[in-house]
Structure 1
Amino acid sequence: MAVFVLDKHKQPLMPCSEKRARLLLERGRAVVHKRYPFTIRLKDRMGGDTQPLRLGIDPGSKTTGLALMRETNDGQRHVLCLFDLVHRGYSIRKAMEQRAAFRRRRRSKNLRYRAPRFDNRTKPKGWLAPSLQHQVDTVMAWVNRFSRLTPITAISQELVRFDTQKLENPEISGVEYQQGTLLGYEVREYLLEKWGRECAYCGTKDTPLEIEHVVPRTRQGSNRVSNLTLSCHDCNQAKDALPLADFFATDRGLRKRLKANGHTAETQLERVERQLKQPLRDASAVNAIRWSLFSALKTTGLPMAVGTGGRTKYNRQRLTIPKTHALDAACVGAFDTLHDWAVPTLTIKATGRGSYKRTRLTKHGFPRGFLMRQKQVQGFQTGDMVKAIVPTGKKAGTHTGRVAVRKTGSFNIQTEHGAVQGISHKYCAVTQRSDGYGYHLTSTNRQKGGAGQTVA
């Protein structure tokens, strides 16, 4: 994984290898500027030549992939760093629901009165729910941070997961990609999203899925996306040219698989018929955050390139690259070859900066405990990245991760492999102060993938 480099005046230079960074530190020519992502600052250099760097972004509802790559003029990309940015939208939504419930209770239980907000307040144009706005703000915060640490010259974003024009009218002609190498990828990506990556008939997960015509072609069924679904190989072979209702009523193998997955034929048939009628505007709801992020990224002034999820998947399968959020970000857009992609991925988890609330509450809103008033204990505070070297005892060893402080001085450390409790502050050393994120490295294993009619 590449190391970020700053010059004497904290201006970004080209990232270097780990070996070169180690030599610069050993010879006293550089100092550690930041641990996560690892950045060094040179003592004896100002300015220097840089090469084109592109930041790839693959937005997601829970995790956003980020990839920093060096580009060449002949369409080659060289991966320098990979990042998985884990959002905390679910935590924000739960906290706001709890706050609303407490306020509602105070209004209705003769407690401290809180007047309800006016019903005629209007939301500004482009308003997003706080749990969704958090995702846009977090990605933009890291884009700005990477811009301060590296000389980024361009940004690539997966703007939409699928092309709705292709889905609404698959027979349309005159568009290059529809008859080219991307034929079918947009439809597959849309079906995977619509059917939850499971067999529509028996509900089986984690199995290769095949595109299935609900009304068979032999019965004048069309290729429109409203007539397509995903099924496992067994269901696809068993249904053959049967009508949907007859297949669910007569096939014993299907009923056996449904029972194993906790479904019944009647409820599953109703689900399939209801899902088929869902309009294409669901695709716009899936892409709402991506358009807000696109508008925010344009404010950086950097050249923007966008792509669809179908093209991303095509690139990944063409180059036999495993599916991860970060590697999807590296495969966004048009390019020829991706080099050096098997590097560790730095997982960045948004944790927040704590809460002003100093009272723990029951589910009914009554106090059940009080938190300490001071943030720091023995020079540490919750959220700091620490390294603890324990010489003896059951917890002997080196533990690195995010610390949660206690008033007693016995801390908990959230490591990559789980939480380690009861570590004395005497064994801890701060590696990076709290910035609202937790960090850990994960390895990328080389896997083989293929492109064909099977959809994964």
Structure 2
Amino acid sequence: MQNRVFVINKHGKALMPCKPRKARILLRDDKAKVVKKEPFTIQLLYGSTGYKQDISLGVDSGQRHIGLAVTSQDKVLFQGEVELRQDVKKLLDTRRAYRQSRRNRKTRYRKARFLNRIAKKKDNWLPPSVASKVNHNINWIKRLLSVLPKADLHIEVGKFDMQKMKNPAINGEGYQQGDLYGYQTVKQFVLARDNYTCQVCKKQGGKLKTHHIIYRSFGGTNTVDNLITVCANCHTTRNHQTGILAKWCKDKKKVSKSYKGATFMNILRRRLFLAFPQAKFQYGAWTTLQRADLNLAKSHYNDAVAISGIEQIKEKPNSVVMFKQFRKKKRSLHEATARKGRKTPNAMSKRNAKNTKYVRGFRLNDYVKIKNSNKKGYICGFSNNNCYIKDIFGDYLTISDRYKQVALSKLDRLSHHNNWNKQEINENVYQMN
């Protein structure tokens, strides 16, 4: 069984999803047209009776993946998974570095901007990296609700007590007395915790400093769990550059787990409550029991199937529709360092030249097939008359083992996509990846 195709009538009202074969016939006979690709939706060009059944939408919300499932009675009509972007913070940090180094480079004049601090203008403001993921969770639910006839919405959310996760015995006033209780600064707490002793040479006294176990540039946090005490003799530029401190910390010090995911899920839960007050919400423990009763393997889309409230499954697709966002533009106007093969930094490059969108009829993110093979993927960049191709999992597709580039003359274009990669893959392939 294949995933169903979403259908709307000629007035824009949602109908029951149909089988892919029926959708192909309707499109072939010019009785329908394609109106959406994510998810794939057709619109009828003639009148229909509009017969509808009870239908449910299950959503496994998350920080990295969103599981989606549409069920009706004892059938799973659609199952899919959305992979969210995790590079927003890194890209913003890169942009910040470019802007801060402008005074040392010859670049075009940019008019000064003032009073553009969005955080002070908006209520309930979120950092861009968090807002991106929250908005995608909400928008994908709205996308499916818009092509389903009065679906019952079921969403799994997470609720975490970070203080309890750190200290299971905490209670009462303990919630008001954090790690820094009784200390004026973070440095004062770290020095006292380590007994004013260098954690590398084990010597007391002298000039002591706090050092990050995992560098901020590698994703380390500024919390007390990621800081240790070192003396001035060990905390040197040479030790930093040679990685001695980093290696010692990795071997000797156990870093506590990050709570970014738990914090995000707490934020997302409140936003989903406000965005979908009509939804039925549940938590992961209940989903685990439901999935076990249905005898389903652990995955985001199977969680969504269980969340939808289906009691037994007689028909279920043997494939999963994967969605992944594609970044089409390189927004930086200039480069801070020279690329490989250049002797000087690229300070005079123009935006259009650095964002090649199409070559010889092919465009960025086109879904293509390499001739005389079964390899299919998306164009992720151009190099003269060649291009780079990746599959939905981010792996390069090549013809030879020596080169990543594939000549455009050796490709057949299957379909055009905007900024979302979409691929329907077998469940067995999904489990392998």
Seen in structure 2, the aligned counterparts of structure 1 residues 439 and 354 have a Cα distance that, compared at 3 Å, is same
Q: Report the residue type matching 1:431 in the other structure.
A: S
CA contact (8 A) 1:347 1:439 kept: yes
Report SS of the residue matched to 2:304.
helix
Which runs of structure 2 are paired with 1:112-151 in the superposition (5 Å)? 122=120, 124-151=122-149
Which runs of structure 2 are paired with 1:111-190 in the superposition (5 Å)? 122=120, 124-161=122-159
Which runs of structure 2 are paired with 1:60-71 in the superposition (5 Å)? 60-70=62-72
Q: Given the alignment, which residue of 402, 409, 412 partners 1:428?
A: 412
Report SS of the residue matched to 2:382.
coil
CA contact (8 A) 2:338 2:346 kept: no
CA contact (8 A) 1:4 1:16 kept: yes
Seen in structure 2, the aligned counterparts of structure 1 residues 126 and 32 have a Cα distance that, compared at 3 Å, is closer
How far 1:311 moved relative to its partner? Answer: 0.7
Runs (4 or more) in structure 1 with deviation over 6 Å come to: 108-121, 166-170
Where does residue 100 of structure 2 map in the other structure? 104
How far 1:59 moved relative to its partner? Answer: 1.6
Which runs of structure 2 are paired with 1:243-258 in the superposition (5 Å)? none
Which runs of structure 2 are paired with 1:326-405 in the superposition (5 Å)? 326-332=301-307, 336-362=311-337, 366-367=345-346, 371-372=353-354, 375-385=357-367, 387-388=368-369, 390=371, 396-404=372-380
CA distance in 1, matches of 2:111, 2:328: 27
CA contact (8 A) 1:413 1:423 kept: no
Structure 1 gap ranges (5+): 171-261, 391-395, 448-456
Q: Given the alignment, which residue of 17, 29, 50 partners 2:19?
A: 17
CA contact (8 A) 1:107 1:115 kept: no
Which runs of structure 2 are paired with 1:238-277 in the superposition (5 Å)? 267=253
CA distance in 1, matches of 2:262, 2:388: 43
CA contact (8 A) 1:82 1:343 kept: no
Deviations 1:68-107 (A, max 9, x none): 222x4xxxx532111111111x321111111222233336
CA distance in 2, matches of 1:334, 1:115: 55
Seen in structure 2, the aligned counterparts of structure 1 residues 96 and 114 have a Cα distance that, compared at 3 Å, is farther
TM-score normalised to structure 2 length: 0.62
CA distance in 2, matches of 1:425, 1:292: 48
**Count of residue correspondences:** 331
* Backbone CA RMSD of aligned residues: 4.2
Seen in structure 2, the aligned counterparts of structure 1 residues 438 and 351 have a Cα distance that, compared at 3 Å, is same
Report SS of the residue matched to 2:389.
strand
CA distance in 1, matches of 2:356, 2:429: 47
CA contact (8 A) 2:57 2:69 kept: yes
CA contact (8 A) 1:56 1:329 kept: yes
How far 1:20 moved relative to its partner? Answer: 3.3
Which runs of structure 2 are paired with 1:47-66 in the superposition (5 Å)? 47-66=49-68
How far 1:24 moved relative to its partner? Answer: 4.1
Q: Given the alignment, which residue of 387, 397, 422 partners 1:419?
A: 397
CA distance in 2, matches of 1:442, 1:3: 16
Where does residue 195 of structure 1 map in the other structure? none
- Indicate the larger mover: 316-325 or 134-143: 134-143
How far 1:48 moved relative to its partner? Answer: 0.8
Seen in structure 2, the aligned counterparts of structure 1 residues 376 and 267 have a Cα distance that, compared at 3 Å, is closer
